[in-house]
Amino acid sequence: MVSKRRQSRSEDKESLTEDASETRKQPLSKKTKKFHVHNEVEENDSVFVKLLKTAGLILKTGESQNQLAVDQIVFQKKLFQTLRKHPSYPKIIEEFVSGLESYIEDQGSFRNCLLSCERLQDEEASMGSSYCKSLIKLLLGVDILQPSIIKILFEKLPEFLFENVNSDGINMPRLIINQLKWLDRVVDSKDLTTKIMQLISIAPVYLQHDFIISLPEILGDSQHADVGKELSDLLTENTLLTVPILDVLSSLQLDPKLLTKVVSELRERLDLEHCILPSRLQASQSKLKNKGWTSSSGNQEDSKDCVVLFFDVIKSAVRYEKIISEAWIKAIENTTSVSEHKIFDLAMLLIIYSTNIQTKKYIERVLRNKIRSGCFEEELLQSTFYIHYLVLKDICPSILSLAQSLLHSLDQSIIFFGSLLYKYAFKFFDTYCQQEVVGALVTHICSGNEAEVDTALDVLLELVVINPSAMRPNAVFIKGILDYLNNMSPQQIRKLFRILSTLAYGKQHEASNHIQDDLHLVIRKQLSSTIFKYKLIGIIGAVTMAGIMAADRSRSFSLTPRRGDLSNEQCTQVTSLLQLVHSCSEQSPQASALYYDEFANLIQGRKLAPKALEWVGQTIFNDFQDAFVVDICVVPEGDYPFPVKALYGLEDYSSHDGIAINLLPLLFSQDFAKDGDRRTSQESHQKSVSPLCLAPYFRLLRLCVERQHNGNLEEIDGLLDCPLFLTDLEPGERLESMSIKERSFICSLIFLTLNWFREVVNAFCGQTLPEMKGKVLTRLKHIVELQRVLEKHLAVTPDYVPPLANFDLETLEVTPHMSAVSAKTRVQGKMGGRKRKADGSKTSSPDRLSKEDNSECDPTPSGRSPLEKELKGKEEKVSVSLQNYHAFFRELDIEVFSILRCGLVAKFILDSEMHTEATEVVQLQPPELLFLLEDLSQKLEHMLTPSVARRIPFLKSKGNRNIGFSHLHQRSASEIAHSVFRLLTPLCNHLENIHNYFQCLSAENHGVVDGPGMKVQEYHIMSSCYQRLLQIFHAFFAWSGFVQPENHNLLYLALDILTKRLKQGEPDQPLEELLSQSFHYLQNFHVSIPTFQCALYLTRLLMVILEKSTAPTQNKEKIASLARQFLCRVWPSGEKEKSGIPNDQLQALLSMYLEHTDSVLKAIEEIAGVGVPELINSPTKDASSSTFPTLTRHTFVIFFRVMMAELEKTVKGLQVATAADSQQIHEEKLLYWNMAVRDFSILINLIKVFDSRPVLHICLKYGRLFVEAFLKQCMPLLDFSFRKHREDVLSLLETFQLNTRLLHHLCGHSKIHQDTKLTKHVPLLKKTLELLVCRVKAMLTLNSCREAFWLGNLKNRDLQGEEIISQNSQESTAEESEEDTASQVSKSKAAEDGEVEASDGEQEQESEESDNDSD
The better pLDDT of the pair 527, 819 is held by 527
Strands ordered across the beta sheet of 629-631:
629-631, 659-661, 724-726, 645-647
Q: In the structure, what pLDDT confidence band is assigned to residue 140 with cuts at 50, 70 and 90?
A: very high
Which of 121-125, 150-154, 628-632, 1284-1288 has the weakest average pLDDT? 121-125
User: Do residues 1240 and 1266 touch, judged by C-beta distance below 8 A?
Assistant: yes
Residue 156 has pLDDT above 70, yes or no: yes
**What is the spatial distance between Cα 1191 and Cα 1197, in angstroms, rounded to a whole number?**
9
Residue 487 has pLDDT above 50, yes or no: yes
Q: What is the pLDDT of residues 167-179, one digit of tens each?
A: 667 888 888 998 9
State the pLDDT at residue 1365.
60
State the pLDDT at residue 759.
92
State the pLDDT at residue 644.
84
CA–chain centroid gap for 818, Å, is 40
**Amino acid sitting at position 22:** E
**What is the spatial distance between Cα 658 and Cα 809, in angstroms, rounded to a whole number?**
38
Indicate the helix (H) or strand (E) that contains 119: strand 118-119
- Strands 67-68 and 118-119, by their bridges, are parallel
What average pLDDT score do residues 568-575 get?
80
State the pLDDT at residue 1011.
56
Q: H helices within 506-628, ranges in order?
A: 513-527, 532-549, 568-585, 589-604, 610-628
Smallest Cα–Cα separation from 136: which of 200, 28, 59, 223? 59
When the pLDDT of each residue in the chain is averaged and rounded to a whole number, the result is 76
Indicate the helix (H) or strand (E) that contains 1278: helix 1275-1279
State the pLDDT at residue 510.
58
Smallest Cα–Cα separation from 1023: which of 1141, 849, 1144, 881? 849
Residue 1327 has pLDDT above 80, yes or no: yes
State the pLDDT at residue 978.
93
Indicate the helix (H) or strand (E) that contains 630: strand 629-631
Give the three-class secondary structure for 933. Answer: helix
CA distances (Å), origin 792, targets 161, 736, 758, 1135: 108, 12, 20, 19
User: Do residues 1106 and 1112 touch, judged by C-beta distance below 8 A?
Assistant: yes
State the pLDDT at residue 250.
76
State the pLDDT at residue 264.
65
How many other C-beta atoms are found inside a 10 Å radius of the C-beta of residue 132? Answer: 23
State the pLDDT at residue 1346.
63
Indicate the helix (H) or strand (E) that contains 1272: none
**What is the spatial distance between Cα 1001 and Cα 995, in angstroms, rounded to a whole number?**
10
**What is the spatial distance between Cα 665 and Cα 752, in angstroms, rounded to a whole number?**
13
What average pLDDT score do residues 86-104 get?
89
State the pLDDT at residue 946.
63
**What is the spatial distance between Cα 462 and Cα 405, in angstroms, rounded to a whole number?**
21
Q: H helices within 808-961, ranges in order?
A: 811-814, 823-827, 833-839, 846-853, 865-870, 872-877, 926-943
Q: In the structure, what pLDDT confidence band is assigned to residue 1344 with cuts at 50, 70 and 90?
A: confident
Give the three-class secondary structure for 1095. Answer: helix
Q: What is the pLDDT of residues 264-293, one digit of tens each?
A: 666 565 443 333 333 333 343 344 334 333
User: Do residues 254 and 224 touch, judged by C-beta distance below 8 A?
Assistant: yes
User: Do residues 55 and 79 touch, judged by C-beta distance below 8 A?
Assistant: yes
Cα Dmax for the chain: 138
**What is the spatial distance between Cα 417 and Cα 403, in angstroms, rounded to a whole number?**
8
**What is the spatial distance between Cα 763 and Cα 331, in angstroms, rounded to a whole number?**
59
Smallest Cα–Cα separation from 137: which of 191, 167, 175, 82? 175
State the pLDDT at residue 1006.
63
Residue 783 has pLDDT above 90, yes or no: yes
The full DSSP string for 1184-1241 is B-SS-TT-BTTTHHHHHHHHHHHHHHHHHTSPPP-TTS-HHHHHHHHHHHHHHHHHHH
Q: What is the pLDDT of residues 1077-1087, one digit of tens each?
A: 899 999 999 88
**What is the spatial distance between Cα 438 and Cα 894, in angstroms, rounded to a whole number?**
36
Q: In the structure, what pLDDT confidence band is assigned to residue 986 with cuts at 50, 70 and 90?
A: very high
**What is the spatial distance between Cα 1235 and Cα 1292, in angstroms, rounded to a whole number?**
9
Q: In the structure, what pLDDT confidence band is assigned to residue 413 with cuts at 50, 70 and 90?
A: confident
What average pLDDT score do residues 385-389 get?
85
CA distances (Å), origin 983, targets 235, 781, 960, 988: 72, 21, 29, 9
Range among 946-950, 1068-1072, 1198-1202 with highest mean pLDDT value: 1198-1202
Q: In the structure, what pLDDT confidence band is assigned to residue 6 with cuts at 50, 70 and 90?
A: very low
Taken in order 236, 238, 240, 242, the sign of the CA dihedral is: negative
Give the three-class secondary structure for 563. Answer: helix
**What is the spatial distance between Cα 324 and Cα 317, in angstroms, rounded to a whole number?**
7
Smallest Cα–Cα separation from 694: which of 608, 625, 789, 631? 625
What average pLDDT score do residues 187-203 get?
88
State the pLDDT at residue 507.
66
pTM above 0.85, yes or no: no
- In the chain, what is the straight-line distance between the N-terminal and C-terminal CA atoms, in Å? 88
Q: In the structure, what pLDDT confidence band is assigned to residue 1357 with cuts at 50, 70 and 90?
A: low
**What is the spatial distance between Cα 555 and Cα 849, in angstroms, rounded to a whole number?**
48
User: Do residues 771 and 916 touch, judged by C-beta distance below 8 A?
Assistant: yes
CB-count burial class (<10 Å; 0-12, 13-18, 19+) for 357: exposed
Residue 1025 has pLDDT above 90, yes or no: yes
8-state DSSP, 1009:
T
Compute the C-alpha angle 707/711/714, nearest 5°. 105
How many other C-beta atoms are found inside a 10 Å radius of the C-beta of residue 1288? Answer: 17
User: Do residues 1012 and 977 touch, judged by C-beta distance below 8 A?
Assistant: no
**What is the spatial distance between Cα 5 and Cα 1166, in angstroms, rounded to a whole number?**
80
Tell me phi and psi for residue 1382, to 5 degrees: -140, 145
